[in-house]
Structure formats: C-alpha cells, structure tokens
Amino acid sequence: MLDYPDMITSLPQADIPFPGVKGWLLQGEHQQIVFMDIDPIGEVTEHSHAAQFGVVLDGEMSLTIGGETKLYKKGDAYFIPDGVSHSAVFKSRVKVMDMFDEKQRYKTK
C-alpha cells in the first residue's frame, strides 16, 4: 500500500465526518485537494455537492455516479459533476486524491 510522503502528511488534516477516513488538505483560493486514506468502511451513502475530480492512487472502490456503478482501481480517474448524486463502497483500504470545486468542502481539524 502506498505511503504518503511527509510533504502530504505535514499538510493540515481535513475534518472528515466519516469514521475510518483520514485526509490531508491542500487549500486553493477557490478549490481544495484532499489526499484521502480510507479504511474498508463499507458504504458511504448517496449525497451530492459541488463538482469533484479524483484519482485512485492505491486500492479499489465501487463508485456510483448518477445511478451508474463502476469499479475504480489504481490509476483510474473519475469526475462527478456539480450536484450529481453519488455513493461509494470501500471493501478494502483505498487512497485517493480528490479535488473539490468548492473552497470550504472540508475544514481543517
């Protein structure tokens, strides 16, 4: 499993409301990038927010975007348009890099 380098883990930790999910926050003027480390937590229920672009850095996850489910593995990228409902299932540990098109998607801990 990929270990994030110090240049990532020294970033502010994101306050993510899901048990078993850690993230480090790179804050831009209008967007955020979060480097996530997700334990096998099962399902994250359907929700929506501003646009999100992500890349699976390690592991795999099942992601449902607008009713279409696909398995995403290391190296796969995904895009969730603004306001589109989506959910995910994590059966194993996963590391992803997500960019959110909103300044305050996550606050720091």
Per-residue pLDDT reduced to its tens digit, 7-29: 999 999 999 988 999 999 999 99
For the record, the structure tokens of 83 come out as 């306001």
Q: Please report the pLDDT score of residue 14 as a whole number.
A: 97
Alpha helices in the chain (DSSP H): 6-9
Topology classification of domain 6-100: Jelly Rolls (2.60.120)
Give me the pLDDT at residue 59, please. 98
Task: Find the mean pLDDT for residues 26-45.
Answer: 97
In angstroms, rounded to a whole number, what is the distance separating the alpha carbons of residues 94 and 28?
Answer: 24
Q: Where are the beta strands (DSSP E) in 7-105?
A: 21-27, 32-38, 42-47, 52-58, 60-65, 68-73, 77-80, 86-90, 94-100
Tens-place pLDDT, residues 48-82: 999 999 999 999 999 999 999 999 999 999 999 99
What is the C-alpha R_g of the chain?
13
